[in-house]
Structure 1
Amino acid sequence: MNITVIGTGYVGLVSGICYAELGNQVICVDKDPRKIDMLNAGGIPIYEPGLQELATANRTKGRLSFTTDLPSAVTQSDIVILAVGTPPLPSGEANLDYIDEAALEIAQAMNGYKIIAVKSTVPVGTNERLGQLIRTRTNHPFDSISLPEFLREGSAIQDTLQPDRIIIGAESESAAATMTALHKPLTDQIVVTDIRSAEMIKYASNAFLATKISFINEIANICEKVGADVTKVAEGMGYDKRIGPSFLKAGIGYGGSCFPKDTSALIQIAGNVDYEFKLLRSVVEVNRDQRFNVIRKLETIFEGDLQGKTVAVWGLAFKPNTDDVRDSPALEIIQHLVDNGVKVKAYDPIAMDNFRALFGKDGVEWCNEAMETARGADALCLLTEWDEFAEVDLGQLQSVLKRPILIDGRNVFNEEHLLGTDFIYYSVGRPSLNQGVKQPMPIL
């Protein structure tokens, strides 16, 4: 099939490259000429394991191209997939300006029947509104499709080529059949539904996963007070098929470009129809507060006096295997430390440049490797569970720290790792290991 994908962010770029991998002829479009120049030169503007190699292979085979020329791409394609950003407005609602603009450009470029599939995450009713908008600018026939995505940064290729399910929202049986045929090589788990239900499935899925994360973090906080181990609790819960083990890993909360944006948007969607989504509001509140447990533990250990201390931070991306720092817990944690007179040393294997650009403030020493970051620090906070940190020699780490204080916000280490060290150690929901909380280290 001939496919145009508009937008070369995580969703658009990964989707376009993977559609080409399936043997389709794909044109990826973006308005940013710097992005397109980089892609045409063989580069990739995002960090996603394996994506550059897949792009190169399909460009070599002549199945994949990149351009800023939207009209030309649309005229050459039977299917046009919208994957532009829908960033949050101050109210929490999705900003639809970019998708509206792209829809109008598609309408003006149409030269015959097209299937227009919206892969961007949009509020319920958006596909219908876009369809009406396009009809005001063209007389050519088209069908509108909702095609929500469920990829995870860091494993986006696997999620695209081996999806749990494909959701197709359509009113036209023929368009639904075409989109089913396109995705049939990926999975038999294809659900065809009405457009509004497909739009809601995306929001409901992310909201539920966010709820699981906030729930297990609340359980972790209780575990610390009653002497239970949240990792054992989560394991025991996960064997129940009705619950499952995924997204039951306690830590410092979720971040990234999807969960924060989509939970806020769904709260606004509910509010727009006079419904207060109390549960989801609590999920967001719990998540926002969870990251500050790191600060609270530091304050406990240092008896409330952080002024003048040096704190090392390992991990700036919101999760490993990505350079995405949007809504990363590290942003608020580091800002709070800096605002309270702490000297911060920070390091991330991949996300340094993105974090520095987004943080945009003084007060942080940016380091080039993990041990350099820890050297001379009064405490170390591990905020992203990169393999590089999990594989570190804790004996060596203790030797370079000024004080052996380790705040493990992702439960990377266990009792076996800590044997033979003198770490004052704090993890999430594992009180038996939280030596620093039970017996704060004297400040000399």
Structure 2
Amino acid sequence: MRWTTALLKFSLIATCGFMSMTSSDGPFLHKLDLASKTTVPAPAKKTKLSKEAEESLSKAAVQKLDRMNKINDLLAFSRGDTSSTVACKNCSLASEAASIRFNQCSTKNNYMEAALERQKTSASYIGALLRTPINKKPLIRPVCIETAMYLQSAASGPVVDYKTCSGGTSKNAPARPCVSENYFTLVNNSFEVVSQCMKTYIGEGESAVAQKNNILAVFGMISVESGFHINIMSKTGAGGIGQFTQPAIHSVNKMISETEEFLKSHPDVRCQRLANEFLKEEQRMDSKKTCDRISVVEGNPVTNMIYTYAALKEATDYFDTNVFNDAKMKAKFALPADEMAKIKRATMVWSHNTGYAGLKTPLTKLLTTKYAKKKVTSADKFLEELREYARLYPNKGNAGSSARIKETANYYAKIQTKIDLIKDGAAGGSCLN
């Protein structure tokens, strides 16, 4: 799909309205509300600025409006919309105003639908997640997850492939899976329940605000890595929601028993069920089996999401041990708790791309040179400086090419940019409830 074609032809569809629904899976999932599905879009006009209005706005505001128009065009193209809706009445950014919209499946992209329907009638937790309506106020607004899914390219290409699994064997799929109601519900509900269960796991001892912002950062990371698609594979072999490689799975499996124990002892029965159903020894990911990372039959996206959080916990522990709890390094920070949490959050998700040593090298270089005789008093300034140090002082494992250096240096900033882009395309406001 070419952006230049898509951006000239289509605009985003957004509508109002909620339909209250209930769930028969009460013991494990709360009663939730599902945004109503819109079937007939109405035309709307793109926002245009007069010369006088444009001159009265700051350059940044004009650029933001242009960016919103472009992302709306791209999302409309991805959804298959050919017109746009009028602005909805009685909508506000403080409430969930945009309806969730689903693809009309085709023979090219409906290859996951049969498996989803079978799972929906099963007694498994995947079935419960499929049957449970979408929460109206979860940690992350559903419209933001929907937007992330539609932003991911609809076709296999030079960077990623979509896969199907049959009998444990994977093969290339012709296109991104249809974002149907079943598919979206499973992805959205899986992220919600796993995030609710594991927010204290990756944010132990942090404030409730910091823990929620951790989830927003994970949302941004997954949006960059996979666009929340279950069956996506990179050309380098990383697979699924969290884009796991064989070495990454092997590493997580060494400490997954800790994750299992955390979930088993969780006061929420839903979290206990995650441990009992997805982390039994025979259910854990095998690093050599592609379908373990991407197949609904193998428990995804739940399993992949649990592994994603387990890997982030491993990263948190690594940087606590090797940097933040080291007496000399710890003394260099003079920040309030939530500002310190911001830096830890950044290293947690940043290292998903750089590797632990890949980020530790520029991080310690920054602390021992620029902050040799002064303290860190601004988290945002420090993270911008870390971006520059990642470019100037890459770990040898990331220094093989200028492209890799640029990728690792800019990865955290890319997450922030993706979150902002999704916010612009998801009816405005924060993606975090």
Name the TM-score, length of structure 2 as normaliser.
0.27
Bigger-Rg structure (1/2)? 1
Larger RCO of the pair (alpha carbons < 8 Å, separation 6+):
2
More helix by share: 2
